[in-house]
């Protein structure tokens, strides 16, 4: 064998070893990542024992078939970090995630979403699941949102949005999208989980903010909003206002705007 060929093979083997090392390192880092993300986000909220919350979180899905994690699996976690009622500030959303969080990140004095609470912010945008026969948390190869209803991520958001809506009180705001065909869609978490939990004994009014972008195709006159009004508990007042996305951004950018004057 010529020197050149030997070098080539040697180089190929080295590259392969580096690739394998890199892959296994990547996998461990990926796994460690969710734990360290959980802790670093959790520690911003001083009032909770993050280790205890992580242990309760893991118990919900570890060593389970990732399509067999019911919403109830998260009851102990939510009981350990219950949602506090924040009357007149609670904000719900459907298909408006970015604009809503762009606002609440800057105007915590005005509005809070589920993703601004401890558990919601800790798990926002993360994917996780377990496997039968394993003590590990996986962040890849987990079921897609629609693949099976009882997957660990979907069950968490189902349970936590129910618990967040259960404590809704006073004037409640919901941001819906004017950029889609059906702003109030009965299959959404907002329609199927949150609205049915608003109770007239606690919630006085639901203010819908219809987010209008340049190419808006829906607004407050959309027929689907009739379904929203009809599914509201009797005694809860309803209002809807078309608001441009730029107006919402302005409210975020200018803290001097009073919360009630945002739109
Ligand atoms: C939420 O969970 C309940 C109870 O398991 C279930 O009936 C419902 O279909 C779930 N909703 C969504 C949107 O996943
Ligand atoms: C409601 O949302 C589901 C899931 O995103 C979608 O498949 C369906 O087309 C929507 N329904 C309407 C009437 O727009």
What average pLDDT does the structure give for the chain?
91
CB-CB neighbours of 44 under 10 Å: 10
Give the three-class secondary structure for 198. coil
Percentage of the chain modeled with pLDDT above 70:
88
Residue 84 CA to ligand 1 center (angstroms) comes to: 23
Active site residue 42: no
Closest-lying ligand 1 atom to the alpha carbon of residue 158: 1
Ligand with an atom nearest the CA of residue 73:
1
Ligand with an atom nearest the CA of residue 185:
2
The CB of 94 under 6 Å from ligand 2? The reply is: no
pLDDT per position as a tens digit, 128-171:
999 999 999 999 999 999 999 999 999 999 999 999 999 999 99
Going along the chain from its start, the domains and CATH numbers come out as: 29-261 (1.20.82.10)
* pLDDT higher than 70, residue 112: yes
* pLDDT higher than 70, residue 251: yes
Give the H/E segment covering residue 73: none
Beta bridge pairs of residue 129: 138
Q: According to DSSP H, which parts of the chain are helical? A: 3-42, 50-61, 75-80, 97-104, 118-123, 152-166, 189, 224-231, 245-253
Contact 143, 67 (CB under 8 A): yes
Q: First CA to last CA across the chain, in angstroms?
A: 78
Angle at 85 between CA 256 and CA 118, to 5 degrees: 80
Contact 91, 117 (CB under 8 A): no
The catalytic position among 42, 50, 142, 169 is: 169
Residue with tokens 């959404």: 188
Distance CA 121, CA 32 (A): 18
Q: Give the DSSP letter string of 143-171.
A: PPTTT-TT-HHHHHHHHHHHHHHHT--EE
Residue 103 CA to ligand 2 center (angstroms) comes to: 26
Closest-lying ligand 1 atom to the alpha carbon of residue 192: 13
Burial state string for 191-230 with b = 16 or more CB within 10 A and e = fewer than 16 = bebbbebbeeebbeebbbbbbbeeebebebebebbebbee
The catalytic position among 87, 129, 251, 262 is: 87
Active site residue 251: no
pLDDT per position as a tens digit, 37-95:
999 999 999 888 999 999 999 999 999 999 999 999 999 999 999 999 999 999 999 99
Contact 62, 137 (CB under 8 A): yes
Angle at 177 between CA 206 and CA 154, to 5 degrees: 85
* pLDDT computed for residue 137 by the predictor: 97
Q: Mean pLDDT check: name the lowest of 32-36, 41-45, 173-177.
A: 32-36
Residue 230 CA to ligand 1 center (angstroms) comes to: 21
Say which residue, 8 or 196, is predicted with more confidence.
196
Residue 208 CA to ligand 2 center (angstroms) comes to: 19
Q: Could you tell me how far CA 79 lies from the centroid of its own chain?
A: 18
Distance CA 148, CA 155 (A): 10
Q: Mean pLDDT check: name the lowest of 195-199, 211-215, 235-239.
A: 211-215
């Amino acid at each position: 064998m010529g020197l050149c060929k030997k070098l080539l093979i040697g180089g190929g083997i080295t590259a392969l070893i580096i690739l394998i090392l890199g892959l296994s390192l990547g996998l461990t880092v990926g796994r460690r990542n969710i734990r360290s993300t959980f802790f670093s986000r959790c520690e911003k909220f001083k009032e909770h024992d993050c280790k205890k919350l992580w242990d309760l979180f893991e118990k919900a899905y570890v060593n389970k078939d990732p399509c067999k994690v019911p919403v109830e699996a998260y009851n102990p976690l939510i009981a350990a970090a219950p949602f506090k009622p924040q009357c007149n500030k609670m904000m719900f959303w459907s298909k408006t995630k970015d604009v809503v969080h762009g606002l609440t990140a800057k105007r915590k004095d005005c509005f809070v979403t589920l993703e601004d609470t401890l558990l919601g912010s800790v798990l926002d945008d993360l994917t996780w699941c377990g496997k039968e026969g394993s003590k590990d948390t996986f962040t890849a190869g987990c079921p897609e949102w629609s693949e099976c209803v009882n997957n660990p991520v979907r069950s968490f958001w189902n349970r936590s949005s129910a618990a967040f809506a259960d404590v809704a009180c006073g004037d409640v705001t919901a941001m819906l999208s004017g950029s889609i065909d059906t702003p109030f869609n009965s299959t959404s978490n907002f329609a199927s989980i949150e609205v049915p939990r608003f109770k007239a004994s606690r919630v006085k009014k639901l203010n819908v903010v219809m987010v209008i972008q340049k190419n808006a195709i829906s607004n407050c006159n959309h027929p689907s909003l009739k379904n929203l009004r009809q599914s509201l508990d009797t005694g809860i007042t309803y209002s809807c206002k078309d608001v441009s996305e730029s107006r919402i951004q302005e409210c975020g950018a200018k803290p001097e705007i009073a919360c009630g004057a945002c739109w």
